Amino acid sequence: MTDAAVDRPRLDAARLRRWLPVYGVYVALVALFAFNAVFTERFLLWENVRIQLVQVAPVVIVALGMAVVIGTEGIDLSVGSVMALAAAIVPIYLGYGAAPAVLMALVGGLVVGLVNGGLVAYVGMQPIVATLALLVAGRGVALVLSGGQLKEIRNPDLIALGSTDLAGLPVSVWLAVALTVVIGFLVRRTVFGRRLVAVGGNRRAADLAGLPVRRVLIGVYVLSALLAAVAGVLAVARIQSSDASQVGLLYELSAITAVVVGGTPLTGGRVRVLGTVAGALLMQLVIATMIKHDLKPSIAEMVQAVIILVAVYAARERRAR
């Protein structure tokens, strides 16, 4: 029938448009991995894979929190500064041992999360503005706390966190895997997870259905800040020093990129946890590929920009019903 002949390609295009933003990241990841496996020397060596995973772990952890915030139609620009804040807090309390120091770093994250969430949920500020304020203020406080100096870390427990392997993989990578599972469970199976996507999908409707919208919003910003604090501690442990002016720099952008490339729409109402992880891996792999093939960092940045544009372009179809 002519009908079918005319309709079929169109239908496939429509299906592709829906499919692409969700699964495109996995295809790209596999393709790029395969490319490297064939054309990049020493790519498949365990040592190389390990380095890539260690580098991507903090991005994954921060991006998980970012994905949850973006799921509520928000954004958290303060994550990089929270990492710096956590990094600045750690050496202050390290005298009491690694655990109290890490705990205090997390408390620092908690405070920033509460402020972010409070500004968004109760004051009614736009997330981008509220968290931009904390982006500036957070690093400022971190610099004050650290006195603007780089501090070396000599605590063996903390250093172990950054350099020990567990079953062949570094602790930080295991932590990223574990947190991915936790956030995945949180988003898919818990009341909080269901509520946060409802708030992102239609805030008025969620409110009228009696959902505690403000509590949910505060929850996601706290979660995001806590995850950023964890990433900050990991960064300190790995480089065995704390430099509040460097830790977490531009991480907010890496995290947002991972989330967007992973297929989570910026318009909220959906969180793709695995996609976010794949997005972070993909961006890491892009940079690694460029470096291995002796391309300038500036070119790597342009390629990243193109990937972001493609991801956003592919996701754009979702809006037009």
Partner 1 sequence: MSHADAPLLDVVGVTKQFPGVRALDEVSMTLRNGEVHALVGENGAGKSTLIKVITGVYQPDAGELRMGGARTAFPAPLDAQRAGISTIYQEVNLIPLMSVARNLFLGREPRRFGIIDTARMNREATGTLRGYGIVGDVRRPLGELGLGAQQMVALARAVMIDARVVIMDEPTSSLEPREVDTLFELIRRLHRGGIGILYVSHRLDELYRICDRVTVLRDGRVVHTGPLAGLERLRLVSLMLGRDVTTVRREGVTSFTGDHADTSAAPVLRASGLRSRHRLHGVDITVRPGEVVGLGGLLGAGRSETVKAIAGALPLEAGTIEVAGRPIGRPSTANAVRAGIAVLPEDRKVEGIVPGLSVRENIALAVLPRLSRLGVVREKQLDAIVRTFIDRLRIRAAGPEQPVDELSGGNQQKVLLARLLATAPKVLLLDEPTRGIDVGAKAEVQSLIDELAAQGLGVVLVSSDADELVEGADRVVVLRDGAVVGELRGAEVNTDALMAAIATAAGAQDGADDD
Instruction: State the nearest-atom distance from the C-beta of 177 to partner 1, in Å.
Output: 21
**CA proximity to 152, closest of 85, 87, 56:** 87
Structure tokens at 173: 């990578």
| 49 binds partner 1 per the rule CB under 8 A | no
Q: Which residue number, 11 or 30, has a Cβ lying nearer to partner 1?
A: 11
> Segment near partner 1 (CB under 8 A), from 85-93, 204-212, 221-229, 286-294?
204-212
> Residue 276 or 304: which CB sits closer to partner 1?
276
* Site residue total, partner 1 (CB under 8 A): 26
Nearer to partner 1, 42 or 321 (CB): 321
What is d(CA 93, CA 188) in angstroms, rounded to the nearest whole number? 36
How far apart are alpha carbons 146 and 107 in whole angstroms?
Answer: 17
User: Does 219 interact with partner 1 (rule: CB under 8 A)?
Assistant: no
Contact between 259 and 268 under an 8 Å Cβ cutoff? The reply is no
Could you tell me the smallest distance in angstroms from the CB atom of residue 17 to partner 1? 15
Q: Which two tokens stand for residue 213?
A: 């919208």
Helical packing angle, 46-71 and 273-292, nearest 10°? 140
d(CA 55, CA 58): 7
Q: Which of 191, 266, 274, 291 binds partner 1 (CB under 8 A)?
A: 191
The CB density around residue 287, as the number of other CB atoms within 10 Å, is: 20
Applying CB under 8 A, among 17, 50, 212, 292 the residue interacting with partner 1 is 212
Residue 195 vs 238, nearer CB to partner 1: 195
User: Residue 292, SS3?
Assistant: helix
Amino acid at 56: V
The rounded distance, in Å, linking the Cα atoms of 57 and 52 is: 9
Question: Of 5-13, 32-40, 52-60, 115-123, which part binds partner 1 (CB under 8 A)?
Answer: 5-13
Sign of CA dihedral 57, 245, 147, 241: positive
Is residue 7 within the footprint of partner 1 (CB under 8 A)? yes
Among 311, 241, 254, CA closest to 88: 241
The stretch among 44-52, 86-94, 154-162, 197-205 that binds partner 1 (CB under 8 A) is 197-205
The residue within the footprint of partner 1, chosen from 27, 205, 302, 306 (CB under 8 A), is 205
**Among the residue ranges 55-63, 121-129, 171-179, 194-202, the one whose residues contact partner 1 (CB under 8 A):** 194-202
Rounded Cα distance, 90 and 241, in Å = 10
> Interface residues for partner 1 in 251-310 (CB under 8 A)?
269-270
Contacts of 292 (CB under 8 A, 6+ apart): 36, 40, 41, 43
- In this complex, which beta carbon is closest to partner 1, that of residue 189 or of residue 296? 189
Q: Is 170 helix (H, G, I), strand (E, B) or coil?
A: strand
Part in contact with partner 1 (CB under 8 A); list of ranges 148-156, 187-195, 283-291, 299-307: 187-195
Nearer to partner 1, 73 or 76 (CB): 73
In the set 45, 190, 302, 306, which binds partner 1 (CB under 8 A)?
A: 190
Q: Which residues bind partner 1 (CB under 8 A)?
A: 3, 6-7, 11, 189-192, 194-195, 197-198, 201-202, 204-212, 269-270, 321
